[in-house]
Amino acid sequence: MAEDEEGDRYRAPALDKGLDILELLSSVDGGLTQAEIAKRLDRSPNEFYRMLDRLVRRGYVTKIDGDRYSLTLKLFGLAQLHAPVRRLVSYATPIMRELAETSWQANQLVVFDRGAAVVISQQEAPRYWGISIRVGSHISLFDTGSGHVLLAFRSPEEREMMISEHLQSTEEFALTPEFFARLDQVRDRGYEMMASLQTAGVYNLSTPVLGPDGRAIAALTIPYITLVNAAAAPDITLTIQLLRDAAARLSRLAGSDVPQSS
């Protein structure tokens, strides 16, 4: 009894209400209406209006199909900023270093976080020339190899939420049927190869790091440049294979048994 009384002294009803909503929405597919949330939590619908409005404005919840509420990926993104990302970088560093040495190219590791593709690790090219991207940089989901891979290797529902979050934090982008067809091609092929839309003469080579469920937890990317007067340097075909082999090794460390390279 004393423990119950001590716990009640520090109750925060508004916080409890918000956590109840988040926990409920995490357990359902397709979202719930305000009335359905109230019924499942045995409360009045009016109790949840302001709380749902705040959760939407803070980006934890989104409205779908007009009146249904669903979780965004913000909680997932917050979780990625802590121990899982540090472990991923720790596992990836020696593999990325070896990839830089064998490919003669720089490479970076990118994850999705709160509406953006974020560079969490970078390896410099071992020789004189290479393209570097600063750790912590936010890059586009729509016109980069890393972004295409992160979208391609997710479920349609996750992809929709990622795009929705990204559009809230970046310029408008024409999401044409051709764009989604491109993502399907990337998934079927197992990697992206595209001319950089930011830097002339650079090709984005990107492939997924897969988790146990076969979804991309990160993208491993090489901004490939052709090295003049370097006859021993791997060509782009060999570089793609080296990249895919490195991502497959990292995926196995992440618990994936999905074959990636051939």
Query: Nearest CA to 121 among 140, 103, 106, 102?
Result: 106
The beta-strand segments (E) located in the chain are 32-33, 61-64, 68-71, 107-113, 116-123, 138-139, 192-195, 203-210, 216-224
What confidence tier does 2 reach under pLDDT thresholds 50, 70, 90? very low
- List beta partners, residue 64: 68
Summary mean pLDDT of the chain: 85
Q: Give residue 207's pLDDT.
A: 97
Q: Mutual orientation of helices 145-152 and 177-189 as an angle, nearest 10°?
A: 80
CB 240 within 8 A of CB 206: no
- The Cβ-side half-sphere exposure at 175, using a 13 Å CA radius, reads 14
Q: Is the pLDDT of residue 131 over 50?
A: yes
- Report how far residue 151's alpha carbon sits from residue 128's, in angstroms, rounded to the nearest whole number: 33
Query: Nearest CA to 221 among 127, 114, 144?
Result: 144
What confidence tier does 230 reach under pLDDT thresholds 50, 70, 90? confident
Q: Give residue 145's pLDDT.
A: 95
- State mean pLDDT over 194-201: 86
16, 44, 127, 216 from 233: Cα distances, Å: 59, 68, 11, 29
The larger pLDDT score, comparing residue 131 to residue 183, is at: 183
In the chain the domains, ranked by start, together with CATH numbers, are 2-71 (1.10.10.10), 77-253 (3.30.450.40)
The larger pLDDT score, comparing residue 23 to residue 208, is at: 208
Give 198-229 pLDDT, tens digit per residue. Answer: 888 899 999 999 988 888 999 999 999 988 77
- Report how far residue 180's alpha carbon sits from residue 173's, in angstroms, rounded to the nearest whole number: 13
Q: Give residue 246's pLDDT.
A: 96
DSSP three-state, residue 185: helix
pTM: 0.68
In the chain, pLDDT over 70 holds for what percent of residues?
Answer: 88
Averaging pLDDT over each range in 9-18, 47-56, 97-106, 116-125, which range is the top one?
Answer: 97-106
- Report how far residue 76's alpha carbon sits from residue 70's, in angstroms, rounded to the nearest whole number: 14
